[in-house]
Amino acid sequence: MAEEKVVTEEVKAEAPATEAPKEEKAPRGDRRPHGDRRPHGDKKGDHRERREPKDDMEERVVSIKRVSKTVKGGRRMKFTALVVVGDHKGHYGFALSKAAEVPDAIKKATEAARKKLYSIHLVKGNTISHEIVGKYGACNVYLKPAPEGTGIIAGGPVRAILELAGVQNVCSKVYGSRAPINIIRATNQGLNNLKSYKEMKVLRSKE
């Protein structure tokens, strides 16, 4: 009986021990914190699908000037940028901004111009409804409608604002101050005072 016991103990010692099944580890990319219910592939901080809404606004830099301010420590140099924006469909805007660098000044002016837009009513032939004189300070801008095919007969600042507003046929003349910002403000004042045929009919009927 003693011999049989020894044999059984030796057989048990030689038998290979069965290993417990190992748990498969999930790959690192699939690990998520507890309570994260985001769908697969929607990673936190992934902004690739977030796109800013596009618009048809075109921007144009009219003038860039270097200006200085005299302070106790000396002169501080900055740049001013005059930018006009428009969609060629009767909407336009303009702004003048200042910054230490030219790109920053252009960016600030563009953002400011997009925030304040003006609209005008165009008549047949993509021109203005009647003659008008825009005034601002010492600057006067004369605008006259022209037949189709004439084009824009205007200088730099006036041409920029008329083209981006969508006017294709017009004649203009600038009197007085030649500062670009004054010319644009005078042109804007003239465009805002344009009256349509229906508005003039109502005004005359009241008289």
Q: Which helix (H) or strand (E) holds 158?
A: helix 156-165
CA distances from 78 to 97, 98, 101, 104, 181 (A): 10, 7, 7, 11, 17
Q: Which CATH architecture has domain 58-196?
A: 2-Layer Sandwich (3.30)
**What's the first-to-final CA gap in the chain, in angstroms?**
136
What tens-digit pLDDT sequence spans the chain (207 residues)?
Answer: 444 444 444 444 444 455 555 555 555 555 555 555 555 544 444 444 444 445 688 999 999 999 999 999 899 999 999 999 999 888 999 999 999 999 999 999 999 999 999 999 888 888 998 899 999 999 999 999 999 889 999 988 999 999 999 999 999 999 999 999 999 999 999 999 988 878 777 877 765
CA distance linking residue 82 with residue 15, whole number of Å: 90
